[in-house]
Amino acid sequence: MELDSIKDAFDRVTKKQKLSSSKSHEVVDQIHLELEQVLQKIQLADNPECPVDLKSVFSELKTKLKDIAPLTQLESTQKELNTALTKYPKLVEKSFNPDISKAYRNVDFDRHTVNQIIASHFYRQGMFELGDCFISEAGESESAASMRSPFQEMYQILEAMKSRNLDPALNWALNNSNKLNECGSDLLLKLHSMQFMEILQNGDRHDALKYARTYLAPLASNHLAELQKLMACLLWTGRLDCSPYSQSQLLSVTNWEKVAEELIRQFCNFLGQSYESPLGVTVAAGVQGLPPLLKFMNVMAGKKQEWQSMKQLPVPVELGREFQFHSIFVCPVSKEQSTEENPPMLMLCGHVLCKQSIMKMSKNSTKSFKCPYCPTDIDATRCRQLYF
C-alpha cells in the first residue's frame, strides 16, 4: 500500500505541532518574565525608602502584555496546526478505506483447505497452543496431529540450537542426508563444522581430531577446502580468539543464525512446503494489490456484474519481485500477457509470440508470415507451444 503521502502528511502535522508548542513556550516565558518583574516591584512597595506606585506598575504591566499580544502570536501557528490536523484524518480515511468488500469477488473456496492453511501458519510460527485452539474451534481436530508434529520437531531442533546443542539437528540432517545431497545443500557439513568448532573451543584437541576423523573425513571428497581450514584451527586449540580465524564465519555468532535459517528452509522443503508462510505471503501480496483494485472498483461501481464475471483483470496490479514465483511472457506484438487460452508459441526461427498474434498474422494458419524480429518466413502449423 502506498504510504508515502500519509507519512508526508504526518510529518507536516508533527512539524506544525512542534512549531506551535515552541511558540507557546516562548509566549509563556515572555509573560512569566514580565510577571516576575512586577512581583519584585510589589515586594518593594513596603519599603519606605523606595516608594512604589502600584497603579503605575499595573498600568505598565497591562501595556507590556498588550505589546506582547499572546493571542495574536499564538493564533497563526495554532491555525496552521488545526488546518493540518483537519486534513490528516481525511487523508488517512481515504487511504485506508474500510470498505474493502468492493474488491471482493464471489469465489468458491474449500473451507477445509483454508482452515488447514491458517492452522499450518500458526504451527510453523511455533504458536502451537493457538494452532490447537483454532483447529478445535474450526472442527478440524482430526488433522491437528499431522500438521503439528513436523513443526514441533523443527522447533525442538531450533530450541536445542539456541542452547548450543547440535545433536538433534545433526540427527535430523543425517537421517535426511540423501535428500540434502540431491538438492545440493551442504547443511550437514555446516552442522558438523560447528560441532567441531564447539569441541575445539572447549580446548579438547584430541576429541576434536577424533570427531573430524569420524564425521568430517567422509565429506572430504566434496569439501576439501572447507575441511583444510577446519584442520588448521587445531593449531589454535584453546586460543581461537587469537587465531587468524577469530573474525571468520567459523566463529561468528551470525553463523548459527544462518545455519538455523538453512535448516528451516530444508525442513519445509522436505515437507513439500515453501520457506515463507503461504498465509503470510498471501496477506502481504493482498496489501500491495488492494489499493489499485479499490480504485478500479470505484470506477466500476455501476458494473458489479461485469466485475464478478471477469476472468482477467483489465488493469495491471503491480506486485514486488518477492511475489513473482513463475515466469511470465508478454507478447511483443499484442503487448498482452500469455494465458492458458493464449499461450506462448515458439516459431522455427527461435522467437516467441502468443498464439492469438500468430493466428492473426497467419490468417488462421492459411498463409505464412514474416517474423516481426527477423525476415524468416513462418508456417503457423509448425509453431510449438512453450511451457515455462
pLDDT tens readout for residues 329-372 = 888 888 888 888 899 999 999 999 999 999 999 988 888 998 98
- Say what the pLDDT of residue 314 is: 66
- Name the average pLDDT for the chain: 83
Reported as a single tens digit per residue, the pLDDT across 210-225 is 988 898 888 888 888 8
- Say what the pLDDT of residue 248 is: 64
Reported as a single tens digit per residue, the pLDDT across 67-90 is 888 888 888 888 888 888 888 888
Mean pLDDT is lowest, of 39-43, 275-279, 352-356, for 39-43
CA distances from 203 to 219, 319, 359 (A): 24, 52, 75
- Say what the pLDDT of residue 116 is: 87
Mean pLDDT is lowest, of 93-97, 324-328, 354-358, for 93-97
Segment 187-209 shows an average pLDDT of: 85
Mean pLDDT is lowest, of 44-58, 135-149, 155-169, 261-275, for 44-58
Q: Is the pTM of this model over 0.85?
A: no
pLDDT value at 306 more than 80 = no
Q: Which long-range contacts (CB under 8 A, 24 or more apart) does 372-377 make?
A: 372/332, 372/333, 373/332, 373/349, 374/349, 376/347, 376/348, 376/349
- Say what the pLDDT of residue 175 is: 92
**Per mean pLDDT, which of 34-38, 250-254, 297-301, 304-308 is the most reliable?**
34-38
User: Cell digits for 70?
Assistant: 499572546
Segment 251-256 shows an average pLDDT of: 78
Between 7 and 308, whose confidence is greater? Answer: 7
Confidence of residue 245 (pLDDT cuts 50, 70, 90): low
- Say what the pLDDT of residue 344 is: 93
- Say what the pLDDT of residue 1 is: 46
- What 3 state SS string does the chain have? CCCHHHHHHHHHHHHHHHHHHHHHHHHHHHHHHHHHHHHHHHHHHHCCCCCCCHHHHHHHHHHHHHHHCHHHHHHHHHHHHHHHHHHHHHHHHHHCCCCHHHHCCCCCCCHHHHHHHHHHHHHHCCCHHHHHHHHHHHCCHHHHHHHHHHHHHHHHHHHHHHCCCCHHHHHHHHHCHHHHHHCCCCHHHHHHHHHHHHHHHCCCHHHHHHHHHHHHHHHCCCCHHHHHHHHHHHHHCCCHHHCCCCCCHHHCHHHHHHHHHHHHHHHHHHCCCCCCCHHHHHHHHHHHHHHHHHHHHHHCCCCHHHHHHCCCCCCCCCCCHHHCCCCCCECCCCCCECCCCCCEEECCCCCEEEHHHHHHHCCCCCCCEECCCCCCEECHHHCEECCC
- Say what the pLDDT of residue 290 is: 81
Confidence of residue 114 (pLDDT cuts 50, 70, 90): confident
